[in-house]
Amino acid sequence: MSTQPAHPALLIPGPIEFDDAVLQSMGHFSESHVGPGFISVFGDTLSQLRKLFQTTDPASQPFVISGSGTLGWDLVSANLVEAGDDVLVLQSGYFSDGFADCLTTYGAIVTQVKAAPGSRPQLDEVEKALSAKNYKLLTVTHVDTSTGVLSELKKLSELVHKVSPDTLIVVDGVCSVACEEIAFDDWKLDGVVTASQKAIGCPAGLSISMFSGRAIERSQTRKTPPSSYFASMKNWTPIMKNYEAKKASYFATPSPQLVRALHTALTQILDKPLAERFARHREASDRIKKAVAELGLQQVAANPDDQAHGMTAMYLPESVKPTDILPILGKKGVVFAGGIHKEIASRYIRFGHMGVSVLDPSRNDIDKALTALKEALAECGHSKA
């Protein structure tokens, strides 16, 4: 049982509910960021990330930097592309637009392959786009948190390696790492950026990423200096290497408390086979999606093959607005999120089901949420017999 004070179950697509031990790690006494205790924990945390991303290639480089998930976009934009470079963004919703904006901010020339809300670019469209220009980089949102659309990374990567082998493949995995399978080496990915507060289950405040040797080399052989100071891989790479080698190093002060919480979260994650973790998220997701369908609700992600396993975005009945139902759910002790895809935002809500809410049955979060959803719909005048 959780020893946290009673509170509504936070079932939005990040931040998620946190395990007690993870939260308790945040209460660690103050320590030097270059002292032996913290160096050891930070070094181990970076090594743990190699396991989470399933990479054994020594050239792969993990980064943990204070910031939110968005900082990962800056890291990519400031180091892996130069002003004037062409970048292909596969657009599957709100967060792909954000990544495109970030790349543009740093001078990249962005071309988007756009999908209708609830869908994702198809491989033949991507192939056509890749054949038209020489793209330095391609970005894909693994799970678009605005729609619950899941992208298929393995086949996409095979395609990119076949038709445009010099194009780096970068994944926005903010809403997928630790709940969807990501085989960094096997799928030949060049970058995956994520954040602490989603499926990893650690409080917000850490940008977490993995880059391939090829990506690191790209950052080192660019003609112009990195176009950010704080987000410079040139500044951070030696720091990460030193911590992992258990050596003191300083560029900008990390948060010892957050890194300790991340270490606890990763220790819990890696305590069991990753395949089991992904399977349990899939099972919970199947159960939730079935229940949602039985309530008469359509999912935003229309194609079952493209549905994420850590969240469900569902259209409401026409007569029910998110602003009607979300407060009712809140009163029943369940926090869901409203829509954020700009074309459909007022028509749907989002249910995040990641981490302890799925893995710790003693919390009963999922059943509680499904019951609350059913009752709330009925209170809004929509009941399905």
Residue 95 in contact with ligand PLP, rule: CB under 6 A: yes
Residue 68 in contact with ligand PLP, rule: CB under 6 A: yes
Choose between 137 and 195: whose C-beta lies nearer to ligand PLP: 195
Question: Are the C-beta atoms of 269 and 277 separated by less than 8 Å?
Answer: yes
Q: Which stretch binds ligand PLP (CB under 6 A): 2-10, 65-73, 329-337, 341-349?
A: 65-73
The single residue among 195, 206, 314, 325 that binds ligand PLP, judged by CB under 6 A, is 195
Residue 182 in contact with ligand PLP, rule: CB under 6 A: no
Q: Is 363 annotated as a binding residue?
A: no
Choose between 68 and 371: whose C-beta lies nearer to ligand PLP: 68
* Distant-in-sequence contacts of 55-60, Cβ < 8 A, 24+ apart: 55/184, 55/185, 55/210, 56/185, 57/185, 57/212, 57/213, 59/212, 59/213, 59/214, 59/216, 60/184, 60/185, 60/210, 60/211, 60/212, 60/213
Could you tell me the two tokens for 203?
């409080």
Please, which residues have CB within 8 angstroms of residue 79's CB and are 6 or more apart in sequence? 218, 219, 222, 226, 228, 231, 232, 233, 234
Q: Is the dihedral of CA 120, 126, 128, 130 positive or negative?
A: positive
> Residue with CB nearest ligand PLP?
69
Q: How far apart are CA 220 and CA 210, in angstroms?
A: 16
Site string for ligand PLP, 134-163 (x = CB under 6 A): -------x---x------------------
How many residues belong to the site for ligand PLP (CB under 6 A)? 11
The single residue among 16, 149, 159, 174 that binds ligand PLP, judged by CB under 6 A, is 174
Residue 53 in contact with ligand PLP, rule: CB under 6 A: no
What's the closest the beta carbon of residue 163 comes to ligand PLP, in angstroms? 25
The single residue among 69, 201, 352, 355 that binds ligand PLP, judged by CB under 6 A, is 69
Choose between 14 and 322: whose C-beta lies nearer to ligand PLP: 14
The single residue among 89, 170, 175, 337 that binds ligand PLP, judged by CB under 6 A, is 175
Q: How far apart are CA 211 and CA 76, in angstroms?
A: 9
Output b/e per residue, 311-340; b: 16+ Cβ within 10 A: bbbbbbbeebebeebbebbeebebbbbebb
Question: Are the C-beta atoms of 289 and 301 separated by less than 8 Å?
Answer: no
What's the closest the beta carbon of residue 180 comes to ligand PLP, in angstroms? 11
Interface residues with ligand PLP (CB under 6 A) are: 14, 68-70, 95, 141, 145, 172, 174-175, 195
Give the annotated binding-site residues for substrate: 350
